[in-house]
Chain A
């Protein structure tokens, strides 16, 4: 089971999905959300990768691992 978290005003919006047929709808939803957020300037990071692997920036939905955090577009304050 993979998790996509998008940071938002409620804390974070979570979509769980995997590659099975039963989760096809969730997967499609996660992919659409991921692509829409990145197109809007968001940045995504693979986190909790296990075996001490460091977090990593990611731009491709197919390379997502267990957990991904999407940070909305960052602007200067």
Chain B
């Protein structure tokens, strides 16, 4: 059975939202969740909290509102438009216009919110550096030629 493209996109966005919810439950444990695997031990939980506080302080009011509502936020990249930053450890920078995902992360096991902050600072202030080192993965939402953005509402 052929599923309409729009329906695929809507399911994709629903899934993204479900995955990025802070209280999301993942009994199978297969999702690359930002917090669940990190809160197992006290020092890591403290690190995540510190990182989240710092991130919230560094976000613009619009980004903070987005982050509090959806657990992700968007950044305006000079010369490249808007990108989304999700709370995942890999492929978490998404170009909503194409669906392409980018993976560029600081070395070391940083809390996921530090990772998001690092990506925000790089994308807004030194995008050439980010796109030089980041790996790009083409959109995994198959998009017929001539259609709109890969992700509805982008």
List residues of chain A with CB under 8 Å of any chain B CB.
5, 7-12, 43, 45, 47-48, 54-57, 69, 71-77
B35 within 8 A of A: no
Residues in chain A near residue B43, CB distance under 8 A: 10
A10 cross-chain contacts in B, Cβ below 8 A:
43, 46-47, 50
| Cross-interface CB contact of A76 among B46, B57, B103, B117, cutoff 8 Å | B103
Q: Is the interface of B mostly helix, strand, loop or mixed?
A: helix
Q: Say which one of B22-30, B108-116, B140-148 lies at the interface with A.
A: B108-116
A residues near B68, Cβ cutoff 8 Å: none
Interface size on B, residues (CB 8 A): 35
Shortest CB–CB separation between residue B24 and chain A, in angstroms? 22
* Contact among B105, B114, B135 with A12 in the assembled complex (CB-CB below 8 Å): B114
Known: A56-B125, A71-B118. A5 touches B103 (CB 8 A): no
Interface residue from B106, B114, B126 paired with A11 (Cβ < 8 Å): B114
B121 is an interface residue with CB less than 8 A from chain A? yes
The answer to whether residues A77 and B90 also contact, given A10-B47, A11-B54 and a CB cut-off of 8 A, is yes
A45-B121, A69-B121 known; A9+B90 contact, CB < 8 A: no
- Whether the Cβ atoms of B124 and A74 lie closer than 8 Å is no
Question: B residues touching A (Cβ–Cβ < 8 Å)?
Answer: 43, 46-51, 54, 57-58, 89-91, 103-111, 114, 117-118, 121-122, 124-126, 129-130, 133-135
Known contacts being A5-B54, A11-B47, A12-B54, is A43 close to B126, with CB within 8 Å?
yes
Chain A neighbourhood of B126, CB < 8 A = 43, 57
Would you list 10 pairs from A and B whose C-beta atoms are within 8 A, ordered by A residue? A9-B110, A12-B114, A43-B129, A74-B104, A74-B107, A74-B130, A74-B133, A75-B133, A77-B105, A77-B135
CB distance from A18 to the nearest CB of B (A): 21
- B48 contacts which chain A residues (CB < 8 A)? 11
List of B residues within 8 angstroms of A48 by Cβ: 57-58
